[in-house]
Amino acid sequence: MSPAQDHPPAVPPTGRAGATADQAPRALTTDPVATGDAPQVVVVDEAVLTLDLSAPTEALALPDTLVPADQGALIDRLISSYPPKVARKRRRHFQVNEPGAPAPIGANERTVPGIITQRGCCYAGCKGVVLGPITDIVHIVHGPIGCSYYAWMTRRNQARPPEGVANYLQYAFSTDLTEDEIIFGGEKKLAAAIREAHALFHPKAIAVFSTCPVGLIGDDVHAVSRQLRKELGINIFGFSCEGYKGVSQSAGHHIANNGLFTHVVGTEEPDAEPDPTRFRINVLGEYNIGGDAFEIERILERCGIDLVATFSGNTNYGDIARSHTADLNVVMCHRSINYLAEMMETRYGIPWTKVNFIGAEATAKSLRKIARYFGDQALIARVETVIGEELEAIAAERAEIRSRCEGKLAMLYVGGSRAHHYQELFRDIGMPTISAGYEFAHRDDYEGREVIPSIKVDADSRNIEELDVVADPLAYHPRRSPEQLDALARSGLQTRDYVGMMREMAPSALVVDDISHHEMEVLIREYSPAVVCSGIKDKYVIEKMGVPCKQLHNYDYGGPYAGFVGARNFYREIDRLVSANVWKYVTPPWAGESLGAFASGAA
């Protein structure tokens, strides 16, 4: 549409916080240079431009008839079968939600042995989650072959490397430690493996990951890496991510953040000086499960936003090495990557803000956050155009699916952000979340970052190194002054903030940290959800209860579920699951038992 046309398209407000339809519209013009399209005049409601983008999104209300009158009594029944000491410990990990004032919840504490947790290990968080998706680093696992196989492609990290960039994701590299190395040491075998990998593949970098036995026998992967770095002339670095460190895979995320920041970020400069007129961002905490990053990249490109690097889905060593040249970091998975966001702001002056590209409305809100940060009127206009077109493309199907799914209950127990993010997709189709919780979150992931000063640092957390980060004397360049960041906050865009999951869940919803199989079984019986979202350890246990389980660790064979196209994929998948008749033919294990006897273990 040309600027001369009389009736440019109007973009309706789709945010929830503070929008009123009677505010005066504003005409904005898109930038043809940024997008390659002809310039357009877009009329945007003032309500959209003044949305409080940092306000918590209001959850769907829970039907009174489906919520137990006394959720506290339900918690007591959940833990009644445990020994008294275990029951006291588990009680801290349950809260009946009050979004306006979330109560402290037990999190990031050791799991009770034998309770059958969903959690993974430190090594899984370091290699399997954060480092593993980087395409052109050779990832050598120093340990038994089973550890290497466990973290090899189990999360379905997809990639489309640019021409000339290697892709080693299809390979599993391991030193395959045996009894001999456990007794006599494995450093020589590790050095030989690094030399062999270099001779065969000539990679830009090699990362070495310690496993449990390596920590127990004392192999120094860092010394071997330094020695081979000098010998081979490439970047080789190690991670002390033995599986037993910390209390969950969260410790591995922290170790991976430290290693990437120390050994990769800022080690390369772009071939040409970045164009200051472009909008350059990094996406942190997006791992391209099932192709999610591809959809996010498509949307950003449509908006004229340049993606420097993703940490770490569909990315390569060079992207991350040059990521310090971006002007904004947007954080998807807060738990796995917030350390790096904070360190990059301290050293390079790059602010960060929390986003969520899971859910159509959440994606729209995230794009508006990016546009408001840059404050460019043409970018804001282009973002509103893209949002309007993308929402319109899925609106009819979304409404049809909502008519079948509305009011049905969902439960989510997965990850360190997914149990929060995916509530947005259920909200899109009218399905309230009656209970949710994380595997490896900390209190700030539940209650918001404002509680960080009150979190007690225990011995397990002290095992993870905290880097002493200062401003780089040459590369530090604050993208926004403190006054500008304050102005953004007053306009409704907070940086360095995350409100947490509990503020965006319904009142009286049950929040459960590090749920056990027993607790999940009792809650499924109590709530009769239409669907449960969890991980591969629980999937088939749940489905034997006659309830469909959407596996969100690696999506099974589905995806992408991010962005607008991903939202439509998820709507279809959930509609298919909750509408299937097969589940009524499954006899749950509690058939014929009273709930009280079942919950207490007396039956």
Q: Which residues are catalytic?
A: 121, 124, 155, 253
CB 116 within 8 Å of CB 296 = no
**Residue type (1 letter), 160:** R
CA dihedral 512, 438, 147, 315 (to 10 degrees): 170
Spatial CA neighbour of 15 closest among 51, 60, 46:
51
Query: What are the CA-CA distances from residue 174 to residues 267, 319, 383 (Å)?
Result: 27, 25, 45
Residue whose tokens read 């998706």: 133
DSSP-derived 3-state class of residue 100: coil
**What's the per-residue H, E or C state across 184-249?**
HCCHHHHHHHHHHHHHHHCCCEEEEEECHHHHHHCCCHHHHHHHHHHHHCCEEEEECCCCCCCCCH
What is the three-class DSSP state of 370?
A: helix
Per the DSSP assignment, residues forming a β-bridge with 534 are: 551
What distance in Å separates the CA atoms of residue 250 and residue 257, rounded to the nearest whole number?
11
> Residue 102 corresponds to which tokens in the numbers above?
């979330």
Dihedral sign for Cα 162, 165, 171, 175, please.
negative
Contact (CB, 8 A) for 413 and 538: yes
Task: Tell me the two tokens of residue 188.
Answer: 């020589």
Cα–Cα nearest to 137, from 168, 115, 165: 168
Assess contact for 52 and 62: CB atoms under 8 A: no
Place of tokens 């993974």: 120
SS3 state at 413: strand
Instruction: Give me the count of residues in the chain.
Output: 603
CB 197 within 8 A of CB 175: no
Place of tokens 């002339």: 233
- In sequence order, which residues have a C-beta less than 8 Å from that of residue 393 and are 6 or more positions away? 564
